Structure 1
Amino acid sequence: MTATGASSPDSARASVQIALELPDDVGSLTVRPLARSDAAAVTALMAGCEQHDVGTVLIEEADIVGDWQRPAFDLAAQSVGVLDEDRLVAYAEVYKGRWADAAVDPRYRGRGIGTALSRWTRRVAARDGGTLVGQPVPGDSPGERLLAALGYRTLWTSWVLELPAGTAITPQPIPQGYAVREPRDDADLRAAWTVNEDAFLEWSERPRASFEEWAATVSRRPGYEPWQLRLMVGPDDEVVGMAFVIVSSGCAYVDKLAVRRDQRGRGLARALLVDAFEVGRAHGGERSELSTDSRTGALGLYEKVGMQVTSVWRHWAADAVDGDEPDRGR
């Protein structure tokens, strides 16, 4: 597996390891690339940050494992961990030279670790052919204030919404000839991927994800069962819409929702959403969640079915920076 950027880097650039340079006064902290065995530690780190910053935990280990098994992600070259003895206290990763994730244990903030991680992500993005790198952070959080101070800019706003436990799920009629079912075979999975990618690429500025990348976080995600992938099919049984539901800790999270452009305006998206709530509740998800952002224009749809905004996130980004170029951050 090789590091893959927004445009494929040549082998010489991909082989260059980017060192994380911590401030001199952080003590005996050590740095190393992450390994797959670190998934639980990264989950615990991110959960602690989420609890501290937004008051709830959104991450689970299967999210990390699914992301790390995407074919285009090289964990050894595109991740870094900061450890205090054997305990992971900070980490960062960069996917395809554009999409970063980073977290610092609240007890270790204020020491310049976050600034060092920012510098590292910008250099990794440049190495992998990217020109812009960024990540979502909770609104009005220490992470947001740090990125603003480092010269990052906001590109869009995201919202996490919840349908509280006990809320009545209003049935949504499905047009005659249409139905919702589970996938039956690989052809159904590929049809769902096509609908999903076509819909999201209408507004998302990124290369098309391969089927293998998509499947890594859907049908190959740890614990996946066919009932989680909801397919809206038309009179000819062709897949025209899809939703993907993850149930964890009593919450049904609607991770993906898409309807083919030529099939919109028939109530199919709302019917899929209601179906996702119902099937999630049937499998232990008493409350339901999803996220959307300002690029989609879908916030009103979710509020109309009784969902409530529980947290606000913003995507902050900065230019990738080659190692030889002076860092413009602080």
Structure 2
Amino acid sequence: MSTAIDLPAGLSSRPLTLDDAQPVVDVMAAQELEDVGEVVIELGDIVGDWQRPSFDIAASTLGVFDGDRLVAYGEHSGGDRSDAAVHPAYRGRGIGTALAGWIRETARGRGATVVGQPVPQGSAGDRLLEALGYQVRWTSWVLQLPPGRTVPERPLPAGHVVREARDDERRAVWTVVEDAFLEWSDRERESFEDFSASTFQRPGFEPWHVRVVADASGEVLAAALLHLDDGCGFVDKLATRADQRGRGLAQALLVDAFAAARAHGATRSELSTDSRTGALALYEKVGMVVTSTWLNRAATL
């Protein structure tokens, strides 16, 4: 796939490597701080995604450089997923448009018929993609539990426990999470190896980051994946087996996950959800508040 894009004089582009993960985070963090007033991205998000066995970093990423400094990047993450960021100091120079074109070309060359990416609502990226014909597929929200508040306790059914997952339960966790997320996402099942790369092998991972609800026989019925970064306990995924919903398992997991993060030094409790899940009202009901709103915009190829 070609890496030649039309850039302003003095800028260059090349495929990225894993060593470029931190500069990518720096660019994305600067963009998020400008657009939503807080930094959401973490180094583990990039490294975990890029180290998936199915992901070819060189063929799937493109960095834009001013000398040795990374100032923008784009990636086709696979299927209909992509992402891109331009440092605020370099906006308005056509870099985002060029990267969007490269992403569409790359995705089309791999057989994709649509490609999209998340952007903060009302941001420069949102306005650019709208102007390029990208339509809104869904809305997502980052939510935070206000300081001093906790999620209300929810008792578990008799014989059930909420606890740290054991190593031999990792495939059961993968199954519960993938089954739940595939109910509303239009994609292929993620392999256990790719799932592991972004969870169990994520930089900074510790066993207590994976929480489960198990019944009296030890069967995993629900699972939560937690990250701890810069004082924030972030629940990345929360899933309950379809035949076990409505029993309070997810709320019990949320209480447990945030408590575990606080016990390990977290001062903030956050998660995200989107309009495909219908879970926003549930999180607001337990006291969480929206801190930023994102749109997933997509273009037909």
Residue aligned with 2:117, SS = strand
SS of alignment partner, residue 213 of structure 1: helix
Q: Could you tell me which residue of structure 2 aligns to residue 307 of structure 1?
A: 288
Residues 283/256 of structure 1: CA separation in 2 closer, same or farther (3 Å cut): same
Which position in structure 2 is the counterpart of 1:255?
236
Question: Which of 132, 148, 158 is the aligned partner of 1:150?
Answer: 132
Q: Matched residues in 2 for 1:277 and 1:97: separation?
A: 32
Structure 1 unaligned spans of 5+:
1-16, 321-330
CA contact (8 A) 1:270 1:301 kept: no
What secondary structure is seen at the aligned counterpart in 2 of 1:82? strand
- Whole-angstrom distance in 2 between the partners of 1:168 and 1:108: 41
Question: Residues of 2 paired with 1:47 and 1:116: CA distance?
Answer: 21
The answer as to whether partners of 2:119 and 2:126 remain within 8 angstroms in 1 is yes
Pick from 50, 56, 78 the counterpart of residue 68 of structure 1.
50
How is 1:1-330 mapped onto 2 (pairs within 5 angstroms)? 17-23=1-7, 26-186=8-168, 188-320=169-301
Could you say what secondary structure the match of 1:247 adopts?
Answer: strand
Answer whether contact 1:70 1:216 (CA < 8 A) is retained: yes
Q: CA deviation at 1:248?
A: 1.1
Could you tell me whether the CA contact under 8 Å between 2:151 and 2:254 is conserved in 1? no
Deviation of 1:301 (Å): 1.1
Give the length in aligned residue pairs. 301
Q: Which amino acid aligns with 1:76?
A: A
List per-residue Cα deviations over 1:49-97 (Å, max 9, x = no partner): 0000100001111111101001111000010000000100000000223
Q: Deviations over 1:267-302 (max 9, x none)?
A: 111111111111111111121111100000001111
Q: Which amino acid aligns with 1:279?
A: A
Alignment partners' CA distance in 2, 1:171 and 1:75: 43
1:220-263 deviation per Cα after TM superposition (whole angstroms, max 9, x unaligned)? 10111111100110121100100011111111100010000001
1:104-159 Cα distance to aligned partner (Å, 9 max, x none): 11111111111001100001001111110010100010000000000110000001
Q: Which runs of 5+ in 2 are unaligned?
A: none
Alpha-carbon offset, residue 34 of structure 1:
0.2
Superposed CA offset, 1:162-182 (max 9, x none): 002221342221111110122
Identity %: 58
CA distance in 2 between partners of 1:158 and 1:22 (Å): 32
C-alpha distance in structure 2 between counterparts of 1:284 and 1:164, whole Å? 16
